[in-house]
Amino acid sequence: MCCKMAEDYDYDEVNLNVGCPSDRVQNGRFGACLMAEPELVAECVSAMQDAVNIPVTVKSRIGIDDRDSYGELSRFIVTVAQGGCNTFIIHARKAWLSGLSPKQNREVPPLRYEIVQQVKQDFPHLEIIINGGITTLQQVNELLHGVDGVIIGREAYHNPYLLVDVDRVIYQQESPQKTRHEVALALIPYIQSQLAEGVRLHSITRHILGLFHGVQGAKAWRRHLSVYGPKAGADENVVLQALELVQV
């Protein structure tokens, strides 16, 4: 399915995720449990590479259960790289396949950024990208000294305005910063074009609920979008009305 999606859409890469520890994923014999089968992951990567003309990347943990030694992780990297993967996105926590929920697996196992940085030192020819528990651009700057890239996951979703300062902090480029209101208004033409193609408003607005995180009126913004966004016929006016509920 991933290969077909990569052909049908304009993706830059296709990612094989072997980092998810949920029971449902394990029951399908995919996700983090596949870290115990690096040869199979390598075969999957090779087959995917044969089917697409874009890079195949792999997202993993630093280990699973008691198989969390650096030697195990190194073997996984070496084996999967032989299958044709040159880019590894590594969540700097191990995963417990039983006993912890997916949410707990994102919070309970300790973060080991140094392990991912060691991977980059030992495999300098590979692109190593780190993620897990990264909530500030200052953290991004610090971690970039030891890896090729950094992913902000949940924080970028819950507090997307965090990214307004990326150009200045990460790339040292001075550019005018849009306010939260300006960001929301800039989204209106996109919303209109998507609605014209049959996309429901809620499919867009549910991703911007955190735009006013920490600002007076944020709760009213979220509530208005959550209540009126899913309604039949909802359009860009729902967003404009929600904006009126937020303090400038």
Write down the catalytic residue from 2, 20, 44, 85.
Answer: 20
Could you tell me how many helices (H) and strands (E) the chain has, helices first?
14, 5
Q: What DSSP string runs through the chain? A: -HHHHHHHTT-S-EEEEE----HHHHHTT-SGGGGG-HHHHHHHHHHHHHH-SS-EEEEE-S-BTTB--HHHHHHHHHHHHHTT--EEEEESS-B-SSSS-HHHHTTSSPP-HHHHHHHHHH-TTSEEEEESS---HHHHHHHTTTSSEEE--HHHHH-GGGGGGHHHHTT----PPPPHHHHHHHTHHHHHHHHHTT--THHHHTTSTTTTTTSTTHHHHHHHHHHHTTSTT--HHHHHHHHTTS--
Residues 36 and 33: their CA atoms lie apart, in Å, by 6
Q: Tell me whether residue 20 is one of the annotated catalytic residues.
A: yes
Residues 88 and 66: their CA atoms lie apart, in Å, by 21
Annotated catalytic residues are: 20
